[in-house]
Structure 1
Amino acid sequence: MTMEELVESKLRFVFNDDNIRFDKSCFAGGLTNYNYIMNIKGNKYVIRQPGGMTELMIDRKVEKINNQIVSELGLNSECIYFDENSGIKISLYIENSKNIAQIGPGFLTNLKNVSDLLKKTHFSKKCFPNIFDWEIELIKYEKIIKKLNGCFFFDYDILKKQLLDFIKKNIKNSICVPCHNDTVPENFLVDDSGKAYLIDWEYSGMNDPSWDVAAYILESRLTQEEIHQFFIYYYGNFPIKDEILKIKAWMMAQDLLWTVWAMIRHYNGDDFLDYCNFRYERFKKNVKNIAISTDYSIADMVK
């Protein structure tokens, strides 16, 4: 049974209708997975079709638990079905909503919305059962590539060591709180009443909160002014030097981690080579520049 056929069978089971067809005509986006909007019996739903190799990269049982936790906190869209074996998920579509990438990730209202959602996540007393450790994830991804008989960039090991040395030298006072760990602007939604949501919690786990801050800056490519305002909203003031160094370190770590993630998708036959190359070239640039001066600016690192 293909994944499309499996999705269709789940739809028929959930809605108790053997005539339902998996309609992929309304694509709602996605990198790790592919999301489609369907109108079923008068209601709109977002149907998640898991992407290639995700069963090796994501623990869906943990995701299901974390998804329920954040739903109880009012952060997430409403999930009506979650298959922890396949990763297929069905959620209610949030009417008249747009993701923040569409309406401007650097707008003040969006920076405030993102900050509020992140703080609600990070200061939640409901802990996730798992830890997101980017180094462990990276090792897992590297093993998958080797099993696929893939190869790495010629300078991969050298640059990776430079990053690990930088982290060992500069990262201090890390803490572990509930984190989303994939805070791309596409994962933040705002409806027409102004209510904001944070969706897609498959990489969630306990982690340092500055990882989420760093990811939003990097993925949104915020300007210097936008970064400063984001800091004010999230921290209440401009963060101390140690916190800035953590953010810079996590930005480089994210480019490396998602480079290797994209390599897995590439070796699986998906069209991720350009995405992979872009992230690796930025990682290489930033590792080299940060070695020259730790004052290399965050705004320059997103470029």
Structure 2
Amino acid sequence: MKMEELVQKKLCLVFNDDSIMFDKSRFAGGLTNYNYIMNINGKQYVVRQPGAMTNLMIDRKIESVNDKIAAELGLNSECIYFDEDSGIKISVYIENSKNIAQADPCSPTTLRSVSTLMKKTHSSKKCFSNSFNWKMELNKYENIIQKLNGDFFFDYATLKKQLLDFMEKNIKKTISVPCHNDTVPENFIIDGKGKTYLIDWEYSGMNDPSWDVASYILESKLTEEAIQYLLVDYYGQFPVHEEIVKIKSYMVAQDLLWMVWAMIRHYSGDDFLDYCCFRYERFQRNVKAITNSSDYSIADMVKNCE
């Protein structure tokens, strides 16, 4: 059964109404999955159609548990149905909402909201049962590409080793706390009353909190001023040199990891080649920059996004 047909079947089952049709006219975004807003019985919902190959990349049983924990903490939107086998999910739509990418990711108000949600996540007493280890995830993605008979960029192995060696030498201390691990601005939702939510907990797991900080900076293309503001607000003061190096390392690691993720989508037939190339070119530039000089600034790395 095709995924669209399965979503259709689940909608009829969940709402006990065989007349419901899967309506894809209101696309709500997504990279890993495709999300659609539907009006059902006078109430609006977000219906998630999982993307290709995501069953090999994401453990939906773990996501389901972590999704509930995030909801209990008041971070997440309300989920009414979660299929752990297919990854199909139905959530209550947050009325009059927009994501932070549509607003201003760099404004002080936004940065405070993002910092607050990250700190609430990272300080949670409810730990996730799984860990998010980016090197293990990368290895898993690489194995999938090999099974798809895909090719890597010619300098992939060399630059990957360059990054790993740099991190081995420069990252001396990490901690493990509940993390979202995909803190792109599109995953922060602001409702009509100004309340902010953090959605899409697919990659959540125990990790170093600086991974989430690095992700928001990189994916939001923060200005130098915004970077300074976020770092001080989150850490309470400007971080020490060792923490800054960790953030920079994670920024580079994220481009490497999500580039390989994008390669899987490309080799499975989705239109991800441009996205893949963009992330790899940025990885190439930034891994060379930080390994040549650990003083290369976060702001310069973000400018390398352009």
Residue 61 of structure 1, CA deviation: 0.2
CA deviations on 1:220-239 (whole Å, 9 max, x unpaired) are: 01011000000111011100
Any idea what SS the aligned residue of 2:74 has?
Answer: coil
Q: Distance in 1 between matches of 2:98 and 2:126?
A: 28
The unaligned stretches of length 5 or more in structure 2 are none
Residue 192 of structure 1, CA deviation: 1.4
Q: Distance in 2 between matches of 1:225 and 1:65?
A: 37
Q: Distance in 2 between matches of 1:251 and 1:102?
A: 22
Residue 172 of structure 1, CA deviation: 1.5
| TM-score between both structures, scaled by the size of structure 1 | 0.99
Residue 292 of structure 1, CA deviation: 1.5
Counterpart mapping for 1:48-197 below 5 A = 48-197=48-197
Work out whether residues 163 and 291 of structure 2, in 8 Å CA contact, stay in contact via their aligned partners in 1: no
Residue 291 of structure 1, CA deviation: 1.7
Q: Distance in 1 between matches of 2:39 and 2:21?
A: 11
Q: Distance in 2 between matches of 1:17 and 1:185?
A: 35
Any idea what SS the aligned residue of 1:101 has?
Answer: coil
Residue 118 of structure 1, CA deviation: 0.1
Which position in structure 2 is the counterpart of 1:200? 200
The unaligned stretches of length 5 or more in structure 1 are none
Which position in structure 1 is the counterpart of 2:283? 283
CA deviations on 1:237-275 (whole Å, 9 max, x unpaired) are: 100001000000000000000000000000001010010
CA deviations on 1:69-110 (whole Å, 9 max, x unpaired) are: 010000000000000000000000000010000001101111
* Matched positions, count: 303
Q: Distance in 2 between matches of 1:292 and 1:142?
A: 27
Q: Distance in 2 between matches of 1:140 and 1:269?
A: 19
Residue 38 of structure 1, CA deviation: 0.1
Which position in structure 2 is the counterpart of 1:25? 25
Which position in structure 2 is the counterpart of 1:8? 8
Q: Distance in 1 between matches of 2:182 and 2:292?
A: 29
| TM-score between both structures, scaled by the size of structure 2 | 0.99
Work out whether residues 180 and 201 of structure 2, in 8 Å CA contact, stay in contact via their aligned partners in 1: yes
Q: Distance in 1 between matches of 2:102 and 2:216?
A: 15
Letter in 1 for 2:235: Y
Quote the sequence identity (%).
73
Counterpart mapping for 1:206-225 below 5 A = 206-225=206-225
Any idea what SS the aligned residue of 1:102 has?
Answer: coil
Q: Distance in 1 between matches of 2:17 and 2:179?
A: 37
Letter in 2 for 1:271: D
Q: Distance in 2 between matches of 1:80 and 1:50?
A: 17
CA deviations on 1:184-214 (whole Å, 9 max, x unpaired) are: 0000001111100000000000000000000
